[in-house]
Amino acid sequence: MVKEIPQEIQTFLTALDHGDREAFIAYVDNTYSIYEIWLYAGILGYDGGFSVLENWVLKHYPKLNRREILLAEIVKLEADIDFLRQQVQADIVKPDSAATRIAHLSKELRGHVVEVEKMTKGADRRGLVMSGADKVMRELRSIFKGNDDVIKALDLAYESVWQLLVDER
């Protein structure tokens, strides 16, 4: 089966040298954040639309949404705790045996909640940094649009900054 690639993406990938193309594809394959992928593509010269890139990534490099999975598990854990409490109230399960199980489920639930909060805060902070970096890059490119020497220097600087941002993970 041949994977269909939108023209914008094909043009972008074709314009990259072999090393950059391989590095970009590897990054796309291993990165969960579509925003980070879009920012890296922008550094490499992609000026197409976000939605085109997002659709291409999701179609060819599906991502596991760990946050959604944890949120679904939280809902299930809450339901399990409620069900166990209902069984205690209906005298189906003894309170002392249910207490241990409820304590275990509650601890697991709190762990999931903490993990989701960490993921959300980290993504929000990182997203703001990436968004600011993207805005600066695009504005500087538009300001120096006609000056190839400055654009080349900016592109080198963007690649250096990008590497620092990636290393901060």
Nearest to 84 by CA among 107, 56, 105: 105
- How far is residue 135 CA from its own chain's centroid? 19
pLDDT tens digits for range 22-60: 989 999 998 888 888 888 898 888 888 888 898 999 899
Q: Are 61 and 29 in contact (CB under 8 A)?
A: yes
Is the pLDDT score of 103 beyond 80?
Answer: yes
Span of 19-23, 60-64, 73-77, 122-126 with lowest mean pLDDT: 122-126
Q: What's phi and psi for 155, nearest 5 deg?
A: -60, -40
Q: Where are the domains of the chain?
A: 1-63, 65-147
pLDDT at 1: 46
Res. 146 pLDDT band, cuts 50 70 90: confident
Picking from 167, 65, 54, 62, the residue whose alpha carbon sits closest to that of residue 116 is 65
Give, in degrees to the nearest 5, the angle at Cα 34 between 53 and 134: 85
Pull the structure tokens for residue 69.
């999975």
What contacts 11, CB < 8 A, 6 or more positions away? none
131-140 long-range Cβ contacts below 8 angstroms, 24+ apart? 131/35, 133/39, 133/161, 133/162, 133/165, 134/38, 134/39, 134/42, 137/42, 137/43, 138/42
pLDDT bin (cut points 50, 70, 90) of residue 3 is low
Locate all alpha helices (DSSP H) within the chain, ordered by sequence: 7-15, 18-30, 34-43, 50-60, 66-89, 95-143, 148-167
> What pLDDT is stored for residue 83 in this prediction?
93
Question: What pTM value is reported for the model?
Answer: 0.55
Q: How confident is the model at residue 85 (pLDDT cuts 50, 70, 90)?
A: very high
Q: Residue 6: which pLDDT band, with cuts at 50, 70 and 90? A: confident
- Output the six-digit token pair for 21: 């193309």
